[in-house]
Structure 1
Amino acid sequence: MPADQPPIKRGRVVMLVDNDVRGDSRVQKEARSMAAAGWEVFLLGERRDSPLETWKIGDAEVRLVPVDDKLSVQPSAWRRSWRRPLSYPPGKELAYRIELIKARQADLTTRFALLNSKRRAGGSAAAHALGKAALLPVRVTDKFLSLWTRLRARETMKLRAARRDSSALFNRIPPWFWKKTMGNRAWRRFDPSLWQWELAFRSVIDKLEPDIIHANDFRMLGVGARAKLRAQAKGRKTKLVWDAHEYAPGLVPKFHRLWLPAITAHEAEFAPYADAVVTVSPSLADLLKQEHKLATRPNVVMNAPVQAPAADESAAAVPDLRADCGIGADVPLLTYVGGITPVRGVDIIIDALPHLPEVHLAMVSVHPNGKNPAVEQVMERAASLGVADRVHALPYVPHWQVSDYLRAGDAAVSPLHHLPNHEIALSNKFFEYSHARLPLITSDIRTMAEMVRSTGQGEVFKAEDLDDFVRVVRLVLADPDKYRAAYDKDNLLQSWTWEAQAAVLDGVYAGLLPAAAPVATPVEPAAAAAPAESLPQAAR
C-alpha cells in the first residue's frame, strides 16, 4: 500500500446513543478502541443544548444530531377527559382561571374601599348606598364565577389524581386493550416520544451506509433495528449489535405511568432483530437471554477502566485528591464517585459522619454544566448535621483519570439501595474503585456483594442500615491493607481493564463480518482471553 494512502478499514460502524456523548464513558471507550482496532467508527449522539456538533475521539468521529422533543408531550397532556367533563383541559388554564378570580376579587375590594373613603370624606349616605347597589351585580357575578371556578378546579385535581392512579379501572382498560390488540407494538400508543430519536437519526444513519450498527440501550435498539431493515431492503447486509446497559423491566418508572410498559414493549419488539447482543454484567446477560429467548447468551463487555490511556488523554496531569480536599495524608478519607439520587444511598455516608468524628468524604460528583441541585442538597444535609467541613464536593475528572485520582483515598463506598438493576450491576464505579486499589464498602446488592465477598477486596453492609454501615467503615479503616492485598491475587485486575473488554467487542464485530480480518490488535492476546474465564464464579 502506498504510504500516502490511508489504511484499509475493516468495516463501517455507526454507534448510536441517546445522550450528548460527553458524559458517557462507555460509548467513548467503545468508539476509540474500535477505531483503533481498524474499524471506521461514527458515533451519533443527540444534540439538545450542546454547542458542539462534531469532534473526534481518537480516530472515531462524533456527530451530534438535533433531537426535537415535541412528541414528549403525552396525549393526556392535551386531551380532555369524559370522566370529569367539568375539569379544565390540561395545561395552564386552571392556574389562569384561579388567578383571574383573585384579580376580580381584588378589584372589587378596591372599588368598595373607594366608596368607603368618599363616605368618610363627607360624601352623602345616599350616594354611598347607590354606589354599593351598583356593585351588587358585580358581587353576584364574581361569587358565581368563584364557585364555578373552584368546582372545576376540584374536578381537575380529581382527574389528575385519577390519571396518576395505575390501579384505577379507566387507567387499566386502555393499556390492556392496546396490549391485547397490538402486542409489543403497543408502545406506539403508550409513549410516542420513542419516535423522536427515529425521526432525528434515520437519515444520518442511511447516508452513512454502515456495515454494523451498534445501538446502545433500549431507545437506540429500535432506531438501529429499523435502520437495519431499510438497509436490507436496499440489498445491504447491515448487522445490528444491541448493547444493553440496563435491565428495562427493572428500571424505576419515570415521566408517566405508561413509560415503563412502553420501553419494555419497545425493547421486546426489536430485540429479535439484533444479530449480536452485548451487555455490562454476567447477571444481566443471563436475564436478557431468558427475557428475550435469545439463542445465545450475550457477550459481556464490562465497564472497566482504561489501563493505558491514549496519548491525547494522558497529556493532562492527574489532580491531587487530598490537595483538592485540603487535608493531609493522615486524615481518614472515604471516596464516592458519580451522580447523586436517593436510590444511590449517598445520604447514609453523610448521616454516618457524626459517628466517625475524624473521617472525611470526597464526593466526585460536581457536573461541569453547573447544574448540581443534588450535590447542594447533600451539602445542606451535611451542614445540618455539623459535618459540612468534612464533606468535599469535587468536580468530575475524565474517565481515564478516575482510578488514579481516587488512589489517595482510604476506602471507596457504593451504598446503592435494593432495586432490580442494582442487584445485577457491576458498575463503572466498582471497577474504578478496584483499579484505585481501594477497599470497597458496598451495600448488600446481590452481584456486587457476592463479588466483594469472593475476592476479599472489601466489606458488605445491609443497605440503608446506618448502624451496620458505621460498623463496616470502622472495620475497613482499621486495616485497609488487608483488603488492598486482594488485588494482588489471581491477576484480578488484569481482566478488569477496558483493553480486555475491547477485545471481546472486537470479536463480536469480527464474528458478524468474517471477511473483516483484523488490521490492528486492540489488546495483547493474553488479556484478550481473560474477561469471561478469569471472573470469580460469584460474578457469573
Structure 2
Amino acid sequence: MKGPRILCISFSDIRSDSRVLRQLDQLTKFGRVTTLSYGEAPPQADDHIQIDSGLPSLPQTVSGVLNLALRRYKTVQLEAPAVQVARAALGSREFDLVVANEARALPLASVVAGQPKILCDLHEWAPAERTHVLSWRLLVAPFMHWVCATYLPRVAASTTVNSSIAEMYQREFGVRPEVVRNAIAYRPDLAPTTLDPERIRLVHSGGAVAGRNIEALVEAVDVLGDGYSLDLYLIPGRQRDAYWAELQKRIAQSPGTTLHPPVLPADLPDVLNAYDLGVFSLPPLTPNHKLMLPNKFFDFVQARLGIVFSTAEETDRLIREYKLGAVAEGFGADELVRAIGAMSRADVAAAKSAADDAAEKLSSATDLATQDRILSELLLGGASKHT
C-alpha cells in the first residue's frame, strides 16, 4: 500500500492491548503502518519491530536510576533499555507520522528520522501512573512530568481516555488532548442472556496486576456463597511474577471461582455474554484509578452485562445515568458483597436490559470519528485541532 508511512510505538504487547488494536484499525486506513512493541506483530501491521519483553521501557539501569535521582532528564530520556534497542532497530528509517502510545514513548518518537508529525495517545494521566509505588513516586513521576512538559507542547495532536483527565493535562501543561474513550464497536448481534435459575454469574476480565484488587472479587464471591459464581479471564504480567503465583493459589482455594485463559480482545464480548454481572473493584491509589474509564467497562456493556464497579467519578456517572447496575461505595470485599447482594434477580435482569439499551450510545462510533478526523488533519492536510 502506498501513502503515508506511519510508525506506531507502544511499549506493550499490542496483540492484547485493546486500545492500540483499535487505533491500528484506524491507522491502516491512512497509510502503511509499522508497529514497534513487545510481542509479535499485530495482524494490522505491514511491518513490525519486536522488542524483547524483558527490556524495561523506563531507565531502570544503575546509570539510569542515578540520572533520574539527579534529575538529569535530558541525559536519561533515551537510556531505557527498550528505548535504546528500539532506536537502534529504527536506524535511519523515515516516517511521516509517529503515534506515541503513552508519554514514555515521546522521547523516542522525537528522534525518529524524517521529521514526522507526532500524535501522542496519552491513554491516562502519565505523571501519576504508579505513584502508589515509592520508587515511581520519587524517581519516575518527576521524569514523566518533565517529559509531558517538554514534549506535549511540540506534538501535532494528542488524545486521552476521558474529559476529566484531558482537563488535568490542560491545567498542568497548557495542552488539552481530545477524548478517545476505550469504547469498543457496537455489537448489534448480542442480546442479554437469560438468568441461570441456580446462580448469578459474575465475571471479570483484565490484567493480573498487583493493585487491581482481584483478591477482593474472589473473597466477595466466597462470602456471597451459594447462588453466585465468579469467572476470571486474566492476562498474566509479562514476568509472571510472585503476585501471579499467589493469585493462582488464592483462586484455587475458592469453590465459587474459576480461572480461564485470557481471551483476545475481539472475542471478549462473545465470551462475556454468557454471564450476568461484570465486576471490578479498584482502590484509588492514583489519579488514574480515581478517574478510571477502563476497557472492561465497555466490554461489559457490549456483552450486555449488568455492572458492579467500585466508586470512581467517570464510571459512577455512566452506571447511574444508564441504570447499568450498582456502585460499591468502598474498595473491599465487604462493599462488593453489599452492592451485589442488594441486587435482586429482577435488578440483575433489568441491568442487563439497560446495557442492551445503552450499547449503541456507549460504543466506539464517536471515538472512531474523532480519530479519523485527527488523522485526516495530520496526514491529508488541514489545521490540527491540537490546542
> TM-score, structure 2 length as denominator?
0.83
User: Is 1:251 aligned with 2:168?
Assistant: no
Q: Distance in 2 between matches of 1:370 and 1:408?
A: 31
Q: Distance in 2 between matches of 1:202 and 1:43?
A: 13
Counterpart of 2:342 in 1: which secondary structure?
helix
1:425 aligned to which of 280, 289, 292: 292
2:339 aligned to which of 472, 479, 499: 472
Q: Distance in 1 between matches of 2:109 and 2:302?
A: 34
1:378 aligned to which of 224, 247, 253: 247
- Matched to 1:360, the amino acid is S
Q: Distance in 2 between matches of 1:71 and 1:242?
A: 20
- Matched to 1:336, the amino acid is H
User: Is 1:73 aligned with 2:45?
Assistant: no
Q: Answer whether contact 1:404 1:436 (CA < 8 A) is retained.
A: yes
Q: Answer whether contact 1:366 1:394 (CA < 8 A) is retained.
A: no
Q: Which residue of 1 is the match for residue 180 of structure 2?
A: 301
The superposition leaves residues 481-512 of structure 1 with CA deviations (integer Å, 9 ceiling, x where unpaired) of: 221232344xx322433454233212101112
The superposition leaves residues 289-326 of structure 1 with CA deviations (integer Å, 9 ceiling, x where unpaired) of: 222101xx3221222224479xxxxxxxx9xx9xxxxx
Q: Answer whether contact 1:32 1:57 (CA < 8 A) is retained.
A: no
Q: Distance in 1 between matches of 2:120 and 2:13?
A: 19
Residue 469 to residue 20, structure 1, CA distance change in 2 (3 Å): closer
Q: Which residue of 1 is the match for residue 37 of structure 2?
A: 45
User: Is 1:63 aligned with 2:49?
Assistant: yes
Q: Distance in 1 between matches of 2:255 and 2:317?
A: 34
Residue 58 to residue 249, structure 1, CA distance change in 2 (3 Å): closer
Q: Which residue of 1 is the match for residue 385 of structure 2?
A: none
The superposition leaves residues 24-62 of structure 1 with CA deviations (integer Å, 9 ceiling, x where unpaired) of: 222122113321x2422111114xxx5x4xx45236433
The superposition leaves residues 119-170 of structure 1 with CA deviations (integer Å, 9 ceiling, x where unpaired) of: xxxxxxxxxxxxxxxxxxxxxxxxxxxxxxxxxxxxxxxxxxxxxxxxxxxx
Residue 73 to residue 337, structure 1, CA distance change in 2 (3 Å): same
Q: Distance in 2 between matches of 1:383 and 1:58?
A: 37
Residue 193 to residue 415, structure 1, CA distance change in 2 (3 Å): same
- Matched to 2:360, the amino acid is Q
Q: Which residue of 2 is the match for residue 32 of structure 1?
A: 25
Query: Could you tell me how far 1:263 is from its partner in structure 2?
Result: 2.1
User: Is 1:216 aligned with 2:101?
Assistant: yes
Residue 71 to residue 376, structure 1, CA distance change in 2 (3 Å): closer
Residue 382 to residue 345, structure 1, CA distance change in 2 (3 Å): same
Q: Distance in 2 between matches of 1:266 and 1:64?
A: 24
Q: Answer whether contact 1:197 1:220 (CA < 8 A) is retained.
A: no
User: Is 1:231 aligned with 2:114?
Assistant: yes
Residue 20 to residue 481, structure 1, CA distance change in 2 (3 Å): closer
- Matched to 2:334, the amino acid is D
> TM-score, structure 1 length as denominator?
0.61
Q: Which residue of 2 is the match for residue 532 of structure 1?
A: none
Q: Answer whether contact 2:308 2:326 (CA < 8 A) is retained.
A: yes
Q: Distance in 2 between matches of 1:477 and 1:193?
A: 55
Query: Could you tell me how far 1:394 is from its partner in structure 2?
Result: 0.7
User: Is 1:416 aligned with 2:282?
Assistant: yes
Unmatched runs of 5 consecutive residues or more in structure 1: 1-5, 80-173, 180-185, 233-237, 310-317, 322-327, 517-540
Of 500-509 and 300-309, the range deviating more from structure 2: 300-309
Counterpart of 1:259 in 2: which secondary structure?
helix
Alignment map for 1:80-479 (pairs within 5 Å): 186-188=72-74, 194-202=79-87, 204-205=89-90, 207-227=92-112, 231-232=114-115, 238-253=116-131, 254=133, 257-294=138-175, 297-307=176-186, 330-358=198-226, 359-367=228-236, 371=240, 373-382=242-251, 388-418=254-284, 419-478=286-345, 479=347
Query: Could you tell me how far 1:199 is from its partner in structure 2?
Result: 2.9
Q: Answer whether contact 1:187 1:261 (CA < 8 A) is retained.
A: no
Q: Which residue of 2 is the match for residue 169 of structure 1?
A: none
Q: How many residues end up aligned between the 2 structures?
A: 370
Q: Distance in 2 between matches of 1:75 and 1:203?
A: 19
Residue 509 to residue 305, structure 1, CA distance change in 2 (3 Å): same
Q: Which residue of 2 is the match for residue 508 of structure 1?
A: 374
Q: Answer whether contact 1:221 1:270 (CA < 8 A) is retained.
A: yes
- Matched to 2:341, the amino acid is R
Query: Could you tell me how far 1:375 is from its partner in structure 2?
Result: 4.5
Q: Which residue of 2 is the match for residue 139 of structure 1?
A: none
Residue 504 to residue 204, structure 1, CA distance change in 2 (3 Å): farther
Query: Could you tell me how far 1:460 is from its partner in structure 2?
Result: 0.6
Q: Answer whether contact 1:416 1:463 (CA < 8 A) is retained.
A: no
RMSD (CA atoms): 3.3
Bigger Rg, structure 1 or 2: 1
- Matched to 1:290, the amino acid is R
- Matched to 2:104, the amino acid is R
Q: Distance in 1 between matches of 2:237 and 2:81?
A: 27
Residue 211 to residue 370, structure 1, CA distance change in 2 (3 Å): closer
Q: Which has the higher contact order (CA 8 A, sep 6+)?
A: 2
Query: Could you tell me how far 1:334 is from its partner in structure 2?
Result: 0.6
- Matched to 2:11, the amino acid is D
Counterpart of 2:171 in 1: which secondary structure?
helix
Residue 450 to residue 499, structure 1, CA distance change in 2 (3 Å): closer
Residue 198 to residue 351, structure 1, CA distance change in 2 (3 Å): closer
Residue 466 to residue 66, structure 1, CA distance change in 2 (3 Å): closer
Counterpart of 1:434 in 2: which secondary structure?
helix
Unmatched runs of 5 consecutive residues or more in structure 2: 383-387
Q: Distance in 1 between matches of 2:144 and 2:45?
A: 33
Higher strand fraction (1 or 2): 2
Q: Distance in 1 between matches of 2:372 and 2:26?
A: 9
Counting aligned pairs with the same residue, the percent is 22
Query: Could you tell me how far 1:466 is from its partner in structure 2?
Result: 3.5
The superposition leaves residues 434-463 of structure 1 with CA deviations (integer Å, 9 ceiling, x where unpaired) of: 111111001112211122112110111122
Q: Distance in 2 between matches of 1:367 and 1:66?
A: 17
